[in-house]
Structure 1
Amino acid sequence: MNPDPISPTRSTRPSPLRVLWLQSGGCGGCTMSLLCADVPDLNGHLARAGIDMLWHPSLSLASGDEVIALLERCASGEQALDVLCVEGAVVRGPNGTGRFHLLAGTGVPMMDWINRLAKRARYVMAVGSCAAFGGISALGHNPTQSCGLQYDDDQPGGLLGAGFVSQAGWPVINVAGCPTHPGWVIDSLTALADGAWTPADLDPLARPRFYADQLVHHGCTRNEFYEFKASAEKPSDLGCMMEHMGCKGTQAHADCNTRLWNGEGSCTRGGYACISCTEPGFQNPGHAFHATPKLAGIPIGLPTDMPKAWFVALASLSKSATPARVKANATADHVVAPPVLRRTRLKNRGG
């Protein structure tokens, strides 16, 4: 009798995706975000997706010598490593030595560990804008010489160099955000585990297209106010925050208002302007985060792909056509003028 070709004792599933997660120069906010993923059991969810977390500083029990031994096995090739995830910027100071950030128990700069492990990994993933571009860790004059894995702000290079490719032939995957949405991280790892991705699924800054080909503006609950250029004037107002409050949702590449945080929130829904945290250089905007710089009364940061002349013409026309209801609600902290009741059924014009 021939054996069952799909025996329950044999698994046809590919080998799990072995992931090593390191934290470098940063606040740990991307891990905090991941721990708030909208799943009942994060470890179980990852396991069911075929993801084997070799070690994560917040999810794993191992510490000390046990972890150092694991890192040595990964760096030597004794332990297979599919994905090296790095959270936080690479700290290269002082004077390029990396000694501002030594891995505890080793006396070796974290940037040296990252260099060794990146050469062994099939894929390298920068988790968060600090790891991708330098982010908040590279704020101002950047005295710690922090940078991203493959970018230094918006310039290719970073720690690993512009020409770096992983064992699978990929550049660093930049899951940018400050912090990252937990879904961006989980979906990226799941796509790698399923073999469902190619480098073409990354945008020109090597961010996953499934979220980076969207704009924060998409799905924003303030879009009616944006259409009529009915603007908020203070933080509690309901109106559009682009004109006066510094919102960059029309320029920021992310799906924050269609893939909500914790199932129901986003920055703009909470009354905070989008600061474009998925973009390189967001930490040094050249102005206060809560203010919109203008030239001759026109916002400098225009919506993506919109010529200035078109914006001026559209804004002027929109403001002149703003319904009184929208104008009143824009500078209120609650709806003071509800929509007028009106029949939407077309009249029967038949003879």
Structure 2
Amino acid sequence: MTTGNDFTLLWLQAGSCGGCTMSVLERGGAGWLEELRRFGVRLLWHPSLSEETGEEARAILGRVERGEERLDALLIEGSVLRGPEGTGRFDMLAGTGRSMFDWVRALAPRADYCVAVGSCAAFGGVPAGAPDPTDACGLQFSATEIGGALGADFRSRSGLPVVNISGCAPHPGWIMETVAALALRCFTAADIDAFGRPRLFADHLAHHGCSRNEFYEFKASAEDVFERGCLMEHLGCKATQAVGDCNQRAWNGGGSCTQAGSTCIACTSPGFEATRGFHHTPKIGGIPVGLPLDMPKAWFVALAALSKSATPARVRENARSDRVARGPAPGAEKRAGAEKKK
């Protein structure tokens, strides 16, 4: 049951693969739509989930644009395609004769909050990768450069810039928790970082809670993707450089990228799509170019050398294996060392 006091939400899909929608549908035991209802959120329209199509859908957009339907939150999934030559006609909203670029600029000023769902909507994402023939961008950023489809000075009716729930795709919890905070009117400028990302996930690193942290601490590194060791030194993992609590909350009931054997590609970061070789760590003089955030290079080199010199044989062996080759046995290594001395 809905009332006139419901928090209204309109979701549009621009240059998108639909992955953000697929992600949020996993949210909650009862499903995302039920969770929205529990927080008093009324979904005005979603192109993949709503029953309204054709004339009915156009009527909803028209009422919002004219100010006849209150819009609390406008959520955009996917990059805004501004080409060719600023017309936006590479991405037309079917049946309206207008580009998604035009619709975004028309509806955003009507919303109390404007939210970019996913790194494409936030920063341009994969569609904005070079050579970018469609002139794709995010709502308020093009990679790290502020501006985007709405401009650097855009503020929604609440006074906030675009809220960027980045990620490719973002965790369903990030989306729903942000929407819930907006619906409860307890989300402020203090709750986003310099790139507009909600601090509920942006105040963490993907590295936090990683199941491979013991290998990282001893710099016991994997050299092939099927091995259990740390993926940073050789295989391009950016978990120590990427914001997100990915390893602290379950995805689809359990797991994360690094737990599944894949490296972190920093998909919450602007410009991640420009990375050359996701499973390769660029190095200069044998030292990884991308070091953990806030750690001076000299400190990392010194700590890495010290850690490697202290690596237990068990950790070193397991790092290069696809399974636990040697389990922990208290005192075993000490006894082994004593035997060697004899």
**Same-fold call, TM cutoff 0.5:** yes
Instruction: Give the letter aligned to residue 126 of structure 1.
Output: A
The change in CA–CA distance for 1:212 and 1:14 in structure 2 (over 3 A counts) is farther
**1:209 and 2:199 matched:** yes
Instruction: Give the letter aligned to residue 46 of structure 1.
Output: L
- Asked whether the equivalents of residues 51 and 193 of structure 1 are also in contact (C-alpha less than 8 Å), the reply is yes
Q: 1:184 aligns with which of 148, 168, 174?
A: 174
SS in 1 for 2:180: helix
**1:273 and 2:252 matched:** no
Match of residue 16 from structure 2:
26
Q: 1:314 aligns with which of 290, 303, 309?
A: 303
Match of residue 121 from structure 1:
111
Q: Per-residue deviation at 1:342?
A: 5.2
- Asked whether the equivalents of residues 25 and 31 of structure 2 are also in contact (C-alpha less than 8 Å), the reply is no
SS in 2 for 1:20: strand
**What do you get for the CA RMSD once the two structures are aligned?**
1.4
Distance 1:263 1:341 in 2: 33
Q: Per-residue deviation at 1:139?
A: 1.0
Distance 2:140 2:7 in 1: 23
Distance 2:265 2:162 in 1: 24
Q: 2:126 aligns with which of 136, 146, 157?
A: 136
**TM-score under structure 2 normalisation?**
0.95
Distance 2:31 2:130 in 1: 39
1:46-105 CA-partner distances (Å, limit 9, x unpaired) = 101111111111221111110011101001100000000000000001111101111100
Distance 1:58 1:201 in 2: 30
1:203-258 CA-partner distances (Å, limit 9, x unpaired) = 11110001000000000000000000000110110000000010000000000000
Q: Per-residue deviation at 1:15?
A: 1.9
Distance 1:42 1:223 in 2: 32
- Structure 1 segments, 4+ long, off by >3 Å, are none
1:122-178 CA-partner distances (Å, limit 9, x unpaired) = 100000000000000101111100000000111000010001000111100000000
Structure with the larger helix share: 2
**1:48 and 2:38 matched:** yes
Match of residue 298 from structure 1:
287
Instruction: Give the letter aligned to residue 44 of structure 2.
Output: L
SS in 2 for 1:269: coil
Distance 2:40 2:173 in 1: 16
**1:249 and 2:243 matched:** no
Q: 1:239 aligns with which of 212, 223, 229?
A: 229
Distance 1:121 1:209 in 2: 22
- Asked whether the equivalents of residues 24 and 110 of structure 1 are also in contact (C-alpha less than 8 Å), the reply is yes
After superposition, residues 67-78 of structure 1 pair within 5 angstroms as 67-78=57-68
**1:324 and 2:313 matched:** yes
- Asked whether the equivalents of residues 230 and 330 of structure 1 are also in contact (C-alpha less than 8 Å), the reply is yes
Q: 1:88 aligns with which of 72, 78, 81?
A: 78
Q: Per-residue deviation at 1:270?
A: 0.2
- Aligned pair count reads 331
**TM-score under structure 1 normalisation?**
0.92
SS in 1 for 2:34: helix
Match of residue 335 from structure 1:
324
Match of residue 346 from structure 1:
none
Instruction: Give the letter aligned to residue 157 of structure 2.
Output: Q
Gaps of 5+ in 2: 333-342
SS in 1 for 2:114: strand
Distance 1:106 1:160 in 2: 21
